[in-house]
Amino acid sequence: MLTRIDHIGIACHDLDATVEFYRATYGFEVFHTEVNEEQGVREAMLKINETSDGGASYLQLLEPVREDSAVGKWLAKNGEGVHHIAFGTADVDADSEAVREKGVRVLYDEPRSGSMGSRITFLHPKDCHGVLTELVTSAAKPPEH
């Protein structure tokens, strides 16, 4: 069962400049940064608020570290902007299987490693009204920032 909007992913060319925009304009501060080699991105998570299920909602700023990464290809085609929306779930395996059974294409056979120790999968945008959709199970204990 999906419990919240976990994050909105925003693709950008310059992570540091984009972080500064969100800090200066809205007062959002960086909660966590990392490089995800598997996904080919350098990212910053900006915490927006806590949620009633013990999680949080974030803006995830994504800068590709390789042109051939999914985000790099997306940026080359679309330019900067909203890349995906992610919904939080207690069980990414069960929920991805449930949507698969409803005819939605799940992009990974098995969930992969995501931000802050999470487990993730993506749903095909053509099956989700043009929106790349991510399902996220947060790590039991978020990393120190």
What 55-58 contacts at long range (C-beta under 8 Å, 24+ apart), as own/partner pairs, is 55/3, 55/4, 55/6, 55/88, 55/138, 56/31, 57/4, 57/5, 57/6, 57/7, 58/6, 58/7, 58/8, 58/31
| Catalytic (active-site) positions | 7, 43, 60, 84, 134
The C-alpha atoms of residue 139 and residue 92 are separated, in whole angstroms, by 11
